[in-house]
C-alpha cells in the first residue's frame, strides 16, 4: 500500500490509533472508497451535464431556504398552492 499521507480524512488522534489496531481496516476502507468512486463515476455518466447542473442549483436553493428558516413542509405547501392556482387557471 502507498505510504503517502493523505489529508482526505482527518481522524482524531485517539481514534486514529484505535483504527490502526483493527486488522484489515485499511484494505476494507480502500475497497469501500474504490466502490464509491466507481458509483459516482457511473452516476456522472448517467446524467447530462445540464441535469447535474440543475440538481446542483436545486440543492443550493434548498440550502439557502433552509438557512432562511423555511422548512420543507412550508415549501411543499407553497408548491401545492401554486400548483392548484395554475391548474385552476387552465
Q: What pLDDT digit, counting tens, does each position of 52-72 carry?
A: 899 999 999 988 988 998 888
- Residue 46 grid coordinates: 448517467
Range(s) of the domain holding residue 20: 12-46
Q: Please report the pLDDT score of residue 6 as a whole number.
A: 59
Q: Please report the pLDDT score of residue 2 as a whole number.
A: 46
Q: Could you tell me if 25 and 57 lie in one domain?
A: no
Distance separating alpha carbons of residues 45 and 75, to the nearest angstrom: 31
Domains held by the chain: number: 2
Residue 2 lies in a domain: no
Q: Please report the pLDDT score of residue 74 as a whole number.
A: 83
* Beta carbons within 10 angstroms of residue 69's beta carbon: 7
Residue 82 lies in a domain: yes
Q: Is the CB of residue 44 less than 8 Å from the CB of residue 52? A: yes
Q: Please report the pLDDT score of residue 1 as a whole number.
A: 44
Q: Could you tell me if 65 and 42 lie in one domain?
A: no
Q: Could you tell me if 41 and 59 lie in one domain?
A: no
Q: Which residues in the chain come in under a pLDDT of 70?
A: 1-7
Amino acid at each position: 500500500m502507498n505510504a503517502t499521507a493523505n489529508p482526505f480524512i482527518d481522524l482524531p488522534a485517539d481514534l486514529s490509533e484505535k483504527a490502526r489496531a483493527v486488522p484489515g481496516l485499511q484494505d476494507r476502507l480502500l475497497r469501500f472508497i474504490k466502490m464509491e468512486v466507481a458509483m459516482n463515476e457511473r452516476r456522472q455518466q448517467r446524467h447530462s451535464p445540464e441535469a447535474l447542473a440543475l440538481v446542483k442549483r436545486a440543492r443550493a436553493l434548498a440550502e439557502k431556504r433552509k438557512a432562511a428558516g423555511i422548512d420543507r413542509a412550508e415549501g411543499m405547501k407553497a408548491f401545492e398552492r401554486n400548483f392548484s392556482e395554475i391548474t385552476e387557471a387552465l
